[in-house]
């Protein structure tokens, strides 16, 4: 079962760090993952999380975000 943004958020305790990363390395998968990064950014705008790091891959040439580290606030 693939983890979703909501699943990772719900299973990260308040005041704890979580990591969400792309499950694949193909450019198409990485491109689609950017929608999930946007969901995390929305959670940050809502004050539910604080994004600590957006890791960008270097092998595709597009510098897509492939991993997000965050702190759950609420």
Report pLDDT digits (tens) over 34-61. 999 999 999 999 999 999 999 999 988 8
Q: Can you give the pTM of this predicted structure?
A: 0.92
Mean pLDDT lowest for which of 6-10, 26-30, 40-44?
Answer: 26-30
What is the DSSP code string of 1-26? ----HHHHHHTSPTT-EEEEE-S--S
Instruction: Reply yes or no on whether the pLDDT at 10 is more than 60.
Output: yes
Domain enclosing residue 10, as ranges: 5-72
Residue 2 confidence (pLDDT): 62
- The edge-to-edge listing of strands for the beta sheet with 65-72 is 17-21, 65-72, 49-56
Please provide the average confidence, as pLDDT, over all residues in the chain.
94
Residue 46: its pLDDT value, please?
Answer: 98
Total domain count, the chain = 1
């Amino acid at each position: 079962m693939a983890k979703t943004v909501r699943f990772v958020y719900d299973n990260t305790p308040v005041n704890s760090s979580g990591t969400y990363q792309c499950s694949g390395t193909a450019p198409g998968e990485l491109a689609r993952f950017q929608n999930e990064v946007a969901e995390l950014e929305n959670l940050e705008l809502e004050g539910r999380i604080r994004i600590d790091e957006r890791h960008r891959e270097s092998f595709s040439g597009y510098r897509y975000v492939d991993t997000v580290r965050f702190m759950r606030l609420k």
